[in-house]
Amino acid sequence: MESVADASRRISRISSHLLPPNIQMEGCGLRRENCRAKGAAPGFKVAVLGAAGGIGQPLAMLMKMNPLVSVLHLYDVVNSPGVTADISHMDTGAVVRGFLGQSQLEDALTGMDLVIIPAGVPRKPGMTRDDLFNINAGIVKTLCEGIAKCCPNAIVNLISNPVNSTVPIAAEVFKKAGTFDPKRLLGVTMLDVVRANTFVAEVLGLDPRDVDVPVVGGHAGVTILPLLSQVKPPCAFNAKEIDYLTNRIQNGGTEVVEAKAGAGSATLSMAYAAVKFADACLRGLRGDAGIIQCAFVASQVTELPFFASKVRLGRSGVEEVHPLGPLNEYERDGLEKAKKELEASIQKGVSFIRK
Ligand SMILES: NC(=O)c1ccc[n+]([C@@H]2O[C@H](COP(=O)([O-])OP(=O)(O)OC[C@H]3O[C@@H](n4cnc5c(N)ncnc54)[C@H](O)[C@@H]3O)[C@@H](O)[C@H]2O)c1
């Protein structure tokens, strides 16, 4: 006799074939059964907004490979049909559906458990993250209005820069809609952690997978504050190493922007970091214990309303925001500088919606 688990797996597989109709693919004249996976494993429904971009494409590909994902919605204002058709040929469990343009945003969002947002314009040489503010602020506002309407309980992973301002913007949009839950809104600072682990491992001569560097504060310049005194495994750096590492971690984004010389900012390492972070959120949603990552969230760790620090992820999103732990003098100085800049960026985001 069929077990309950087998039966529900079969039902979820069948219903994923039937619902919802893939409007975009049919609109392109492509036959649905030729351009999407046939099965649907039990798992979470994830949307990527900005899925055709430099980050969006590799991020979508890596999420298609994630066994915790059963349905993957790829939304963009351009090129999402091509990306969807391409990724849907991968023989992994997640069913992929594409959505193109504002008129399909609601379909893209309905029923999602996790929404990942890499939509927006990237930094060009000479631009600061704050230069991006006006364009990306408007994009994030529109997308978050859609989330408030169609999947108010979804966990949101916000990648669009400047994260120090876009997270407060998203919070204001959700507050206006009456759906704000600080546990479910997370600014993605994982790339700073990934870089910190890599650069510290280089200095220590270790495998980066064995290194854990907490990075707190925010996600721009001096607001990125690596806590080198709390590196695991425990180690001691001299003053020169601390300066070198702190500067390199804070300017890792600029290193890539300059090397790409006009062709955009970090995309591949960002997609990797975003997927590592999204996977942690999904494992938290599944109920796994002890899932701890750094993220920029609503916080009482400092006097600022948002701050990045280690958080424990669980079934309801951010279940605990960890304090900063003991800081040395260098880090205390860095914290003061970070807070000053962060305060202005947060205020800029809040004012964008309240103006
Ligand atoms: N958090 C981080 O650590 C981090 C790191 C790198 C880049 N970023 C940011 O991520 C964002 C994307 O970078 P990218 O290199 O992928 O840029 P990109 O220009 O290659 O891609 C952005 C995508 O967003 C889409 N888009 C624009 N407006 C949209 C809208 N209204 N709805 C949906 N999609 C829309 C574009 O069509 C494009 O496909 C930028 O803001 C960048 O600064 C963040």
SS3 of 215, please?
Answer: strand
Q: Whole-model pTM?
A: 0.90
Contact in structure between 70 and 63 (CB atoms under 8 Å):
no
Mean pLDDT computed over 216-228: 97
Helix axes 329-354, 133-150, angle to 10 degrees: 70
Whether residue 165 has pLDDT greater than 70: yes
Residue nearest to atom 38 of ligand 1 (CA): 53
Q: Is any atom of ligand 1 closer than 6 Å to the C-beta of 305? A: no
Range scoring the smallest mean pLDDT among 123-127, 143-147, 170-174:
123-127
Helices (H), the chain: 4-18, 23-27, 56-64, 80-88, 105-109, 133-150, 163-177, 190-204, 239-250, 252-260, 268-286, 329-354
Distance CA 12, CA 161 (A): 36
- The whole-number pLDDT of residue 129 equals 60
Query: Domain residue spans in the chain?
Result: 39-188, 189-354
Place 300 in a pLDDT band, splitting at 50, 70 and 90.
Answer: very high
Flag whether pLDDT at 75 surpasses 50. yes
Distances (CA, A) of 349 to 92, 156, 162, 309, 346: 39, 17, 9, 20, 5
Report whether 272 contacts 195 (CB < 8 A): no
**Binding site membership of 204 for ligand 1 (Cβ less than 6 Å):** no
Structure tokens at 106: 């609601």
Mean pLDDT (whole number) for 216-232? 97
Residue with the two structure tokens 């893939």? 22
Q: What is the pLDDT of residue 116?
A: 99
> How much is the pLDDT for 132?
79
The DSSP symbol for 79 reads S
Q: Decide if 17 is catalytic.
A: no
Cβ neighbours around 19 below 10 Å, total: 9
Question: Which pLDDT does position 189 carry in this prediction?
Answer: 98
At residue 122, the pLDDT reads 77
Which is more confidently placed, 83 or 26?
A: 83
CB-based contact 70:94 (threshold 8 Å)? yes
Distance of CA 149 to the CA centre of its chain: 20
- Best of 99, 129, 144, 159 for a ligand 1 pocket test (most atoms within 8 Å of beta carbon): 159
- The confidence band for 40, taking pLDDT boundaries of 50, 70 and 90, is very low
Measured between alpha carbons, how far apart are the two ends of the chain, in Å? Answer: 62
Tell me how far the alpha carbon of residue 241 is from its chain's centroid: 30
Please tell me the CATH code under which domain 189-354 is placed.
3.90.110.10
Q: Residue 9 — pLDDT band, cuts 50, 70, 90? A: low
Indicate left, alpha or beta for 7 from its phi (over 0: left) and psi (-120 to 50: alpha): alpha
Residue 128 has pLDDT above 60, yes or no: yes
- pLDDT on residue 134: 87
User: Mean pLDDT over residues 263-272, rounded?
Assistant: 94
Ligand 1 neighbour 119 (Cβ under 6 A): yes
The CATH number of 39-188, from 3.30.590.10, 3.40.190.150, 3.40.50.720, 3.40.30.10, is 3.40.50.720
